[in-house]
Structure 1
């Protein structure tokens, strides 16, 4: 079971060069910008992402579509028919039904492809959290781990992932049912920047509020300083929804305080950006 591919869905964020170099596969996901339906195949070009977030700023509504078990089966078949098993990294089951759909697809494919396997990982993560796990899986595979060893090693890390982020407007999360209407209305008042985490069950929770972007960015840096543990993992992801100035300042503060850290900067996938809105900024790492 050492002949397997590493696959992630398009809601995750990873450095494009890393994905290309190691042949990471992406399950495509659909999203809309206004009346236009689009498909994300992962690691979108910056020009596409900027157009997406500019569209949100101009009032275009954005939403995403779920992946059905049938769609997963059709996607996975191309690799199974080539004799390869699949280690698949999926958006948190606390945020989407895609993990359950991928599990059902994997079970349906067992009879037809008994020599191969599809192992979905419930990452309890999103965006760069999935990227961190995929990077670990790449290293594990290079070091000779078979698919089951790799799956077990990765699932042991999942509870240690930490996501902390700010959003400009909670109304995007409210539209997708991720936070309540009352929380969204309160959080959107008077330049208050809500601070959110993904909890141990992979669900979004609001944990703090900061007045203005600078205070929110400082809170993200403080989160890094309190939670980063170089022995647990030296890679952190800073993902932003087209707010490069704040992301760059956060990166500089992280590098100055911990020169050896591997900082990955990416723009946020439109699959997640559809629900967070423009101006989101995150700090994602493996915690103590």
Structure 2
């Protein structure tokens, strides 16, 4: 059954993939020194390269969510095209974006009570969110319904494990994720936090180490201790390809992971984690 898949720019998939599979994308925004930019620009394939080059100048960074009208326009068009709608959203634990989509869903149903629209919060982002988008595309091609895909994401979302480490606390501080004192002390002693996305889709520090080597080892151990599906692991990096590839090689060699997808971390999350960040996503033991 053909239905419209809608997602956010945070899903970390390419413009070519979205176009090929007829996926509608609602963009979030990032701000560098107060100037706002769309995180997804299908007409500029170099957006991420430009973004990370800008981050190296250590600007003041922040982000903003998509508003309800952006979602409503996409939802209404799909409805008018006679399609059911499946929205696969960025974690509500770190952004108000999902709430915007819920408000748009409510507006659509008030105007068109016969609309079939399913909104699901992935409680993750980047390649974790993108994994569920790709799974929905696969399920749709195999004849599954929007409701089938919605139920699948609901059942599996807490099995999508997400761990992040940053190399520079500056960006967490600028984004309001850590207080000034923690930033100053942490930078002084070169703390590298290990952050996990919890059952509410929120970022929580689960460990702190004192070197890049130890932080990458902690990321490897997070997979080793929790992975249940060795078909694919995703690594998103903040313009540190060498470290990401080294981690990917280690996962394949020591844990027999069949496929490790490596790519740059999209800009909205990257604005908070900065240059040198590594995020890893995989299906594993259910979050508790």
- 1:47 CA displacement: 3.4
Report the secondary structure of 1:279's partner residue.
Answer: coil
Distance 2:68 2:14 in 1: 28
CA gap of 1:268–1:186, structure 2 versus 1, over 3 A, is: same
Report the Cα distance in structure 2 between the residues aligned to 1:46 and 1:242, rounded to whole angstroms.
15
**What corresponds to 1:150 in structure 2?**
149
Q: Is the 8 A contact 1:124 1:200 kept in 2?
A: yes
Q: Does 1:199 align with 2:198?
A: yes
Compute the displacement of 1:258 (Å): 4.0
Structure 1: how far apart are the matches of 2:85 and 2:181?
42
Aligned match of 2:276: 279
Confirm or deny that 1:242 pairs with 2:239.
yes
- 1:254 maps to 2:251: yes
Per-residue deviation at 1:156?
0.3
The CA deviation at 1:271 is 1.1
Mean Cα displacement is larger for which, 64-73 or 199-208? 64-73
Aligned residue pair count? 285
1:81 aligns with 2:80: yes
* Deviations, residues 118-157 of structure 1 (Å, cap 9, x unaligned): 3221111011110121122222222221111110111100
How far, CA to CA, are the matches of 1:42 and 1:130 in structure 2?
A: 19
State the distance in 1 between where 2:123 and 2:42 align.
20
2:251 and 2:126 mapped to 1: Cα distance? 19
Map residues 7-156 of structure 1 onto 2, 5 A cutoff.
7-14=6-13, 18-41=17-40, 47-156=46-155
1:226 matched to 2:236: no
Q: So what's the TM-score if we normalise by structure 1? A: 0.90
Separation (CA, whole Å) in 1 of partners of 2:14 and 2:48: 15
Query: Do 1:194 and 1:210's aligned partners in 2 also have CA atoms closer than 8 Å?
Result: yes
In the alignment, the residues of structure 1 paired with residue 11 and residue 185 of structure 2 have an alpha-carbon distance, to the nearest angstrom, of 29
1:56-77, Cα deviation, whole Å (9 max, x unpaired): 2212222222222223212322
2:46 counterpart SS class: helix
Q: 1:100/1:86 Cα in 2 relative to 1: closer, same or farther (>3 Å)? A: same
What secondary structure sits across from 1:111 in the alignment? helix
- C-alpha change, 1:186 and 1:132, in structure 2 (3 Å) is farther
Output the aligned Cα RMSD. 2.2
When normalised by structure 2's length, the TM-score is 0.90
